[in-house]
Amino acid sequence: MKTIYLISLLILLPVFSASAQKKHSFFLNTGYTFNKSIKLNEEVVKNSQGLLFNFGGVKKLFFYKGNSFELGFALKTIFTSGQVDDLRFNATTLRITIPVRFVFPVNKNWQLATGILFQNNEDLRSLDWKLRNKYDWRYDVFGEIKFYFKEDWFLTASANVNLQKIPDPFFINDPKAAFSIGIGKSVLIINKKKKARKEKRKQKRHKKKNKL
C-alpha cells in the first residue's frame, strides 16, 4: 500500500509541474465514515464505521466571476469495522477518488464547494478495470467549507454521502456517509519553457512595434 501511495505522488508531481495554470493545490485529510443501517447475508451489521485518510491534488480548470470548476485526483485508505451477531470484523481498503468540484468564494478567506466524488467501489488491488460489473464504480455527493488561514494554506471541513441504489455489501469497506477535516496548500507552478516562449513572443511584438 505504501508503494501505491508513492507511485501516486510521483504521478501527481509531473502533472502539476507541466501546467501553467495559476493555481493548484495539494491536500491531506482524515475523517469518520459510517453506515446507518445495512445488512450482510440478511443479517444486520451493527456499528459499521471507519476511519479514512485521503491524499491528493486539485487543478482549477475554469474561472467565471470569481467562481471556479476544479478536477482532482486522490488516494483514499479506509479502516473499517463492524459486527454481525457476535462476530466482529475489521477491513482495510484502498480507493482512487476523482473529485469534480464547483467552488464559490464567500470572501478573501472563506470558500464553499460542492460537487461529485467518483471512486472505485471495489478495492484498488482487486478492481476489474474492464468495468464488467455495474457496481465497480460509485459517485458520492459532497459539500465542503474551506478557510485560508495563512497565505495559501487552508483548512477544510467536508461531508459526503452516497445516494445510489447499491447492494449493502459494497458499503462494508467504504460506508455510505463520511465527515472529514484536513489541511492543504495552494501553489503557483510555472512552466519555465512555456514562460520563455511567451517572453520571446512578447519581445518580438515589442521589436515590431518599435520598427513601426
> CA-to-CA distance for 163 and 27, rounded, in angstroms?
25
How far from 62 is each of 59, 152, 172, 190, CA to CA, in Å? Answer: 9, 19, 37, 18
Percentage of the chain surpassing pLDDT 70?
76
- DSSP letter assigned to residue 30: E
The answer to whether the CB of 181 falls within 8 A of the CB of 31 is yes
pLDDT digits (tens, 9 = 90+) for 85-110: 889 999 999 999 999 999 999 998 99
The answer to whether the CB of 1 falls within 8 A of the CB of 77 is yes
pLDDT digits (tens, 9 = 90+) for 56-76: 999 988 888 889 999 999 999
> CA-to-CA distance for 179 and 88, rounded, in angstroms?
23
> CA-to-CA distance for 184 and 190, rounded, in angstroms?
19
Residue 211: burial class (beta carbons within 10 Å; 0-12, 13-18, 19+):
exposed
The runs of H, that is alpha helices, within 87-170 are none
Cell numbers at 210, concatenated:
518599435
Indicate the pTM of the whole model.
Answer: 0.75
Question: b vs e for 96-121, b when ≥16 Cβ sit within 10 Å of the residue's Cβ?
Answer: bbbbbbebeeeeeeebebebebebbb
Which tops the pLDDT comparison, 80 or 209? Answer: 80
Whether residue 172 has pLDDT greater than 60: yes
> What residues have CB less than 8 Å from 114, skipping those under 6 apart?
101, 102, 141, 142, 143, 144
Q: Let me know the angle formed at the C-alpha of 72 by 139 and 14, rounded to the nearest 5 degrees.
A: 145
Whether residue 7 has pLDDT greater than 50: no
Which tops the pLDDT comparison, 44 or 8? Answer: 44
